[in-house]
Chains A and B, each alone.
Chain A
Amino acid sequence: MVKITFIQPDNSEQVVECEPEMTLMEAAKLNNVPGIEAECGGACACATCHVYVDEAWRDKTGTPSQMEEDMLDFAFDVRDSSRLSCQIKIKPEIDGLVVRVPAKQF
Chain B
Amino acid sequence: MSTEAQAGDAGGVIETDAVIIGGGPVGLFAVFELGLVDIKAHVIDILDKPGGQCAELYPDKPIYDIPGLPIVTGQEITDRLLEQIKPFKPVFHLGQQVEELKRLPDGRFHLKTDVGEEFIAKVVVIAAGGGSFTPKRPPLVGIEAYEGTSVFYAVRRMESFRGKSVLIVGGGDSALDWTLNLQPVAKSLTLLHRRDEFRGAPHSVEKMRLLAAEQKIRLVIGQVSALHGEGGRLDAVTIKTKDGEERLPVEVMLAFFGLTMKLGPVANWGLALTDNLIRVDTEKFEASEKGIFAIGDINTYPGKLKLILCGFHEAALAAQQAYKYVYPGKKLLFQYTTSSSSLQKKLGVS
Contact = CB atoms under 8 A, between A and B. Distances in A.
The size class of the interface chain B forms with chain A is 20 to 34
Contacts of B261: 39
Decide if the interface of chain A is mainly helix, strand, loop or mixed.
loop
B73 to A, nearest CB: 11
Interface stretch (B120-128, B191-199, B244-252): B191-199
B223 A106 contact: no
Decide if the interface of chain B is mainly helix, strand, loop or mixed.
loop
A69 B195 CA distance: 10
B137 A106 contact: yes
Contacts of B193: 73
B260 A46 contact: yes
A69 B58 contact: no
Interface in B59-116: 61
A74 B195 CA distance: 12
A103 interface: yes
A103 B139 contact: yes
Contacts of A106: 136-139, 257, 260
Nearest to A40: B57
Given A40-B53, A74-B136, A76-B138, A48 B257 contact: no
A73 B195 CA distance: 8
A22 interface: no
Given A39-B261, A45-B57, A73-B172, A78 B223 contact: yes
A92 to B, nearest CB: 27
B130 interface: yes
B260 A77 contact: no
Contacts of A104: 139
B53 to A, nearest CB: 7
A25 to B, nearest CB: 15
B61 A78 contact: no
B23 interface: no
The size class of the interface chain A forms with chain B is 10 to 19
B171 interface: yes
A45 B61 contact: yes
Given A40-B53, A78-B194, A47 B61 contact: no
Contacts of A72: 194
A40 B258 CA distance: 13
A47 B197 contact: no
B86 to A, nearest CB: 28
A70 interface: yes
A76 B225 CA distance: 9
A73 B137 contact: no
A64 to B, nearest CB: 11
A74 B175 CA distance: 12
A49 to B, nearest CB: 13
A32 B243 CA distance: 37
Contacts of A45: 57-58, 61
Interface in B172-208: 172, 193-195, 197, 199
Contact of A39 (B194, B199, B260): B260
Interface string A81-106: 00000000000000000000001101
Contacts of A48: 260
Nearest to B139: A104
Interface string B256-287: 01101100000000000000000000000000
A43 B62 CA distance: 10
B224 to A, nearest CB: 9
B170 interface: yes
**10 closest cross-chain pairs (CB), A and B:** A104-B139, A74-B258, A45-B57, A43-B58, A106-B136, A73-B171, A78-B194, A45-B58, A70-B199, A74-B257
5 contacts: A43-B58, A43-B61, A47-B258, A76-B139, A76-B257
Interface of A: 39-41, 43, 45-48, 69-70, 72-74, 76-78, 103-104, 106
Given A74-B136, A76-B257, A78-B223, 5 more contacts: A45-B58, A69-B197, A70-B199, A106-B137, A106-B138
